[in-house]
Structure 1
């Protein structure tokens, strides 16, 4: 537990502000389990290793866009190459895409 957290999930010194302690709410450690999946990115077969929670988020993004997870990943791969010439850590980029999806557009400003 961080030094800013107190028992009961409240931020220490933060009056009535709610803190976050995932272990008080039956945290599912399975979500942290890395999973490797074979994917096809713009015609090239590769393997992508992400924690289970990120695969779940990607499934939600694909569902909202009415496409497959492979289509989402191919889109990110294509756009990062077109806009930035590529990326060294594609798995890291996908994790960031998932977090931005969860946080909403205000995080990109």
Structure 2
């Protein structure tokens, strides 16, 4: 290993994975990016997210008894009120989805 580059190490010399990130029924369709037109507080825009995030947003919206547009408008409004906006709204939405999943997982370690 030169200069800390682990790419040249043989696979067997690395620490073995304790959790396989690819479950047996992994659905590669979940990584397919989809662009959708959404209205954020009355303004039309396009949001490109992977299918898995659209699925999570659908579940969050259903749980809140609203549409995905309403849910995203709430996220947009709150980030403007609390932080003056965000440069990467799609990144924010992805993190909101992940944090929502972590919140619902009792064993998740949150910083």
Q: Which bracket does the TM-score occupy, shorter chain normalised?
A: 0.7 to 0.9
1:108 Cα offset (Å): 5.8
Runs ≥4 in structure 1, deviation > 6 angstroms? none
**Aligned position for 1:21:** 21
- 2:100 is the counterpart of 1:101: yes
Unaligned runs of 5+ in 2: 1-10
Look up the match of 1:36. Answer: 35
Whole-Å Cα distance in 2 between the matches of residues 39 and 31 of structure 1? 20
Alpha-carbon displacement from aligned partner over 1:74-97 (angstroms, at most 9, x marks no partner)? 000000001100000000000000
User: Computing the radius of gyration over CA atoms, which structure comes out larger, 1 or 2?
Assistant: 2
Query: What is the TM-score when the length of structure 1 is the normalising length?
Result: 0.80
Unaligned runs of 5+ in 1: 12-18
2:7 alignment partner in structure 1:
none
Give, in angstroms, the shift of residue 35 of structure 1.
Answer: 0.2
- 1:26 deviates by 2.8
Question: How high is the TM-score relative to the length of structure 2?
Answer: 0.78
Are residue 66 (structure 1) and residue 48 (structure 2) matched? Answer: no
